[in-house]
């Protein structure tokens, strides 16, 4: 959190509602997830260099991201994060495939993400856009779109993309909102926030329903806003904290509660699952979005575990905002992917 600043209502609600979920579950006597504070200290002791004051967040990967430093990069980031959810139903399909495929589209046609085209995109076109590379590791030259362009052929749909209808609707929503309110430009949406990260989260949630990541627990509303927050973080990374990526209060962002971070935190003992939840996750059973108390507790605990890690680091004299710590944890989880127990599985547009 930025010192001396008043926390924004939306991000204050994320912190308060996720903390309430854990306290309510504990009060009922059978929490699905708990946080081990001693394990946090052990983790920070064991990896002092990783969590040191000199630790830098992973760079925004230019190999699979489009990043030209202009307004077009903002257009790319919004399209990317409109589609940035639920990869697990397609074995081997990763975030780098999504980001790289959209980079290939925009590299081939700089007008592809014009708002009027986004507002009218159909499922067949989006499926073509999102095809992974044959190698499974993104290389722009190997992407089906790039290959088809070289050979003068239409790019074939190779694999069915998960939740294609929902992704198509999210992209159409984005194009329509940009046309209606921001003269077709994602950069205008970003500028409307006036370098206020929390305000941008609020604008995104207000104008784009697919980013409205809210749920219920025990009859009370819980706020998470994973994709709206990661969009702000992505802009900060893409523009290296300047220009359209300059936000005065970027440290207000919470972590981005998804699959990989809780998977890693569980592996190091920071997050502990009940026997029932552990059996469901390890058995790769789907946890219905918003209908399973375990799924809501798991996401809430992810936010709170990272908050506690941030506090523990502060006591050690290390200032690492939650969103940067999230990036470090996510990168570490990606590197250890083959060694980790399964992540939870939820069919959702929110992460």
Pairwise CA distance, residues 93 & 90, whole Å: 6
3 belongs to a structural domain: no
The pLDDT assigned to 220 comes to 95
Is residue 275 part of the annotated active site? The answer reads no
From the candidates 258, 275, 326, 338, give the one annotated as an active-site residue: 258
Pairwise CA distance, residues 121 & 124, whole Å: 8
The pLDDT assigned to 6 comes to 58
212 belongs to a structural domain: yes
| 65, 169, 211, 250 from 201: Cα distances, Å | 22, 20, 9, 11
pTM: 0.91
What's the pLDDT tens digit per position in 176-226?
Answer: 999 999 999 999 999 999 999 999 999 999 999 999 999 999 999 999 999
Mean pLDDT along residues 249-275: 96
Short-list 247, 196, 203, CA closest to 225: 203
Mean pLDDT along residues 282-302: 92
Letter string b/e over residues 170-203, b meaning 16 or more CB atoms within 10 A of that residue's CB = bbbbbbbbbbeebebbbbebbeebeebbbbbbbb
Token readout for 328 is 């470090």
308 belongs to a structural domain: yes
Number of separate domains in the chain: 1
What's the pLDDT tens digit per position in 37-59?
Answer: 999 999 999 999 888 866 666 67
Lowest-pLDDT range of 143-147, 184-188, 214-218, 310-314: 143-147
The pLDDT assigned to 114 comes to 98
Domain ranges, residue 305: 9-339
pLDDT of 4 higher than 50: no
345 belongs to a structural domain: no
Long-range contacts of 106-109 (CB under 8 A, 24+ apart): 106/66, 106/72, 106/76, 107/66, 107/140, 107/146, 108/145, 108/146, 108/149
Count Cα atoms within 13 angstroms, Cβ side, for 238.
Answer: 27
pLDDT of 61 higher than 50: yes
Instruction: List all residues 6 or more positions away from 51 whose beta carbon is below 8 Å from its beta carbon.
Output: 44, 313, 318, 320, 325, 328
The pLDDT assigned to 1 comes to 44
- Binned at pLDDT 50, 70 and 90, residue 156 comes out as low
- Binned at pLDDT 50, 70 and 90, residue 32 comes out as very high
- Binned at pLDDT 50, 70 and 90, residue 116 comes out as very high
Token readout for 133 is 């590379």
| 96, 277, 291, 297 from 287: Cα distances, Å | 25, 9, 8, 11
pLDDT of 286 higher than 80: yes
Token readout for 91 is 């074995």
Instruction: List all residues 6 or more positions away from 186 whose beta carbon is below 8 Å from its beta carbon.
Output: 71, 74, 75, 77, 78, 178
Question: Which percentage of the chain shows pLDDT scores above 70?
Answer: 94
105 belongs to a structural domain: yes
The pLDDT assigned to 12 comes to 93
The pLDDT assigned to 20 comes to 97
175 belongs to a structural domain: yes
Instruction: List all residues 6 or more positions away from 104 whose beta carbon is below 8 Å from its beta carbon.
Output: 140, 143, 145, 146
Phi, psi at 109, each rounded to 5°: -145, 100
């Amino acid at each position: 959190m930025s010192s001396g600043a008043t926390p924004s209502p939306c991000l204050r609600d994320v912190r308060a509602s996720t903390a309430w979920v854990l306290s309510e579950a504990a009060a009922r006597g059978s929490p699905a997830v708990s946080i081990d504070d001693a394990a946090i200290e052990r983790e920070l002791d064991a990896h002092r260099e990783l969590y040191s004051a000199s630790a830098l967040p992973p760079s925004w990967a230019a190999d699979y991201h489009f990043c030209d430093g202009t307004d077009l990069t903002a257009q790319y980031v919004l399209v990317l994060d409109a589609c940035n959810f639920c990869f697990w139903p397609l074995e081997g399909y990763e975030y780098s495939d999504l980001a790289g495929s959209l980079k290939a589209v925009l590299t081939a046609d700089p007008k592809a993400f014009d708002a009027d085209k986004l507002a009218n995109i159909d499922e067949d076109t989006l499926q073509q856009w999102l095809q992974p590379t044959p190698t499974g590791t993104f290389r722009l030259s190997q992407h089906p779109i790039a290959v088809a362009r070289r050979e003068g052929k239409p790019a074939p749909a190779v694999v069915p993309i998960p939740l294609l209808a929902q992704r198509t609707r999210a992209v159409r929503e984005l194009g329509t909102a940009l046309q209606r309110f921001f003269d077709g430009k994602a950069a205008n949406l970003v500028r409307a926030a006036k370098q206020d990260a929390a305000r941008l989260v609020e604008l995104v949630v207000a104008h784009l329903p697919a980013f409205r990541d809210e749920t219920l627990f025990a009859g009370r509303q819980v706020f998470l806003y994973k994709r709206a927050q990661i969009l702000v973080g992505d802009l900060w990374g893409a523009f290296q904290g300047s220009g359209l990526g300059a936000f005065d209060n970027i440290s207000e962002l919470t972590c981005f509660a998804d699959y990989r971070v809780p998977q890693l935190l569980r592996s190091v003992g920071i997050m502990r699952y009940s026997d029932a939840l552990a059996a469901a996750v390890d058995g790769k059973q789907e946890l219905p979005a918003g209908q399973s108390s375990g799924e809501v507790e798991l996401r809430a605990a992810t936010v709170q575990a990272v908050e506690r890690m941030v506090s523990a680091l502060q006591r050690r004299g290390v200032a690492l905002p939650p969103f940067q710590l999230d990036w470090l944890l996510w990168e570490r989880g990606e590197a250890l992917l083959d060694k980790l127990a399964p992540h939870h599985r939820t069919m959702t547009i929110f992460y």
